[in-house]
Amino acid sequence: MSFDGLWPYIYIAIAGWLATDLWRWAGVLAGNRIDETSEVLNWVRAVATALVAAVIAKLIFFPTGTLETSPLWLRLGAVVFGAVCFFFGGRFRQILGIAAAIAFLAAGLAITGA
Amino acid sequence: MTAETAPEPQSQMHWFLLGMRGIFSLPAIILMLSFVGFAAFTAEAKIPVEQVMFMTGMVWALPAKVILVGSMLSGAHIAAAFIAVTLSSVRMMPMVAALIPEIRDRRTPTWLLLIISHFVAITAWVFAMEHVRTVPREGRVAFFAGFGITLTVANIILVGLVYGAVSEFPPIVSGCLFFLTPVYFLTSIWISARHRVIYWALGIGLALGYVFAVIAPEYDILLAGVIGGTVAWWGERWLRQREAGR
């Protein structure tokens, strides 16, 4: 498509903004009816978490861009190594786990010649 | 020094500013690195920078924007683009629905929640679910608004600034930038989980995310979320009832 004129902005507004914010508004209306201690909220929490987990799985198993051609074992190895550092990381476990996973990936990419 | 004074109730501005300070947190920094990657992606695709900034503010969720850019590049009809983006954004509904009961109080007007819901995306959601418990209920909407609005505006500016500078990264750098996002999400969800069902949903969602990406790639996220989340909730509740029954 052409990126000139007003059309791209209309395209972004309808196919981007409206397509996304409709669901956010639906979430507000649904969330307004849910009691904070109810079993329904537990289910909604579980579905929301599983959705985000599925996005994570896709990023790890089917990455786009540079990582698309990287070996799967390297990406999985990075996640496992990061997880081990995370669970033994104590107070700084988050930053430690993330740094370990990225360092593992970077080293692997360098060795395999990405 | 005998009289105990009740703590002074903090103003809405105080909580808004406290939320703004979240821009210096780990999640905000990682998201900004992801947006540097997104700016490089759109620069390579030759989408004008004004349009990239516009969609950053209007759409906000990064996965939805990647799909939108893909549709624009392939010249997809606006209706086809709408369907693709809207399917990727269904997950916003349970995410917002889970957040709303945590942040509203009885007097929070619905129109205000509708406006601030725009600033919900995975990072802001994970951050809010993690930190909102440390804020008294009357300050939570202001706290989230402060964080969400600041994060969005900062990334609109960031995309505009780096667009021209990062036409292409060395492959190792762009690969690591990309990988930061899933690794950060994993650690954050684990740390912010306050209910056992979250761990279950995380594990089952990861496994089903892979399975459905292979067998039903067009609806993978949605199926993995609804089926995985329901199985996790049902299994955890079954165990909870058994424990209570003993």
Distance from CA of B245 to the nearest CA of A (A): 18
Name the least confident of A68-82, B79-93, B114-128, B142-156: B79-93
> For residue A41, which residues of chain B lie inside 8 Å, CB to CB?
98, 101
The confidence score (pLDDT) of residue B44 equals: 74
Residue type, B165: A
Contact yes or no for B209 and A44 at CB 8 A: no
CA angle B98/B25/B180 to nearest 5° reads 80
From the list B85, B142, B82, the residue with the least C-alpha distance to B115 is B142
What is the model's pLDDT at position A20?
A: 95
pLDDT of amino acid A61: 93
Q: Which residues of A are less than 8 Å from B191 in CB distance?
A: 93-94
- The string of pLDDT tens digits covering residues B150-206 is 999 999 999 999 987 766 678 788 788 888 878 888 988 888 787 899 999 999 999
* CA–CA distance, B62 with B67 (Å, rounded to integer): 9
**Using CB atoms, which residue from A42, A51, A95 is nearest to B91?**
A51
Q: Over the stretch B65-96, which tens digit does the pLDDT of each residue have?
A: 887 887 888 778 898 889 878 877 888 888 89
CB distance from B71 to chain A under 8 Å? yes
Minimal CA separation from B109 to chain A, in Å:
10
CA B73 to chain centre: 25
Residue A114: per-residue pLDDT: 58
Q: Which residue of B has its CA nearest to A107?
A: B172
The residue assigned the tokens 């956010």 is: A24
Q: Taking residues A33-45, what's their average pLDDT? A: 84
Average the pLDDT over each of A9-18, A37-46, B139-148 and give the range with the smallest value.
Answer: A37-46
> How many C-beta atoms surround the C-beta of residue B44 within 10 A?
12
Neighboring chain A residues of B208 at a CB cutoff of 8 Å: 50, 54, 57
Contact B204, A52 (CB under 8 A): no
Cβ distance A114 to B64 less than 8 Å, yes or no, reads no
Q: B4 burial class (0-12, 13-18, 19+ CB within 10 angstroms)?
A: exposed
Beta carbons of A86 and B94 less than 8 Å apart: no
Task: Among B183, B189, B237, pick the best mutation site for testing chain A contact (most A Cβ within 10 A).
Answer: B183
Task: Say if residue A8's pLDDT is above 80.
Answer: yes
| 8-state DSSP, B10 | P
Average pLDDT over residues A14-21: 95
**For the residues A40-52, what does the mean pLDDT come to?**
86
If pLDDT is split at 50, 70 and 90, which confidence band does A74 have?
very high
Interchain pair A54, B220: CB under 8 A: yes
Cβ–Cβ below 8 Å for A51 and B89? no
CA distance B142 to B135: 10
pLDDT at B222: 79
CA dist., res. B155 & res. B237, Å (int): 40
Domain boundaries, chain B: 12-180, 195-246
- pLDDT for the residue B1: 44
CB contact under 8 A, B97 and A25: no
Residue B162 Cα to chain centre, angstroms: 22
**Closest residue on chain B to A5 (Cα):** B51
Name the minimum distance, in Å, from the CA of B8 to any CA of chain A. Answer: 27
- Whether residue B46 lies within 8 A of chain A, CB to CB, comes out as yes
pLDDT given at position B8: 62
Q: Compute the C-alpha angle B74/B76/B78, nearest 5°.
A: 145
pLDDT at position B147: 96
Query: Using the beta-carbon criterion (under 8 Å), do B213 and A66 form an inter-chain contact?
Result: no
Q: How far is B103 from B128, CA to CA, in rounded Å?
A: 9
Q: What is the DSSP letter of B45?
A: T
Region A78-91: what's the mean pLDDT? 94
- Average pLDDT in the A94-102 region? 93
Task: Give alpha helix (H) positions in B134-170.
Answer: 140-162
CB B174 within 8 A of CB B40: yes
Q: Quick one: three-class SS letters along chain A? A: CCCCCCHHHHHHHHHHHHHHHHHHHHHHHHHCCCCCCCHHHHHHHHHHHHHHHHHHHHHHHCCCHHHHHCCHHHHHHHHHHHHHHHHCCHHHHHHHHHHHHHHHHHHHHHHHCC
Query: What's the pLDDT at B73?
Result: 81
In tens, the pLDDT along B9-65 reads 678 999 999 999 999 988 898 889 888 878 877 887 788 999 999 999 999 988 788
DSSP string, B160-193: HHHTTT-S---HHHHHHHHHHHHHHHHHHHHHH-
Q: Please write the tens of the pLDDT for every residue from B205-242.
A: 999 999 998 998 777 777 888 899 999 999 999 999 99
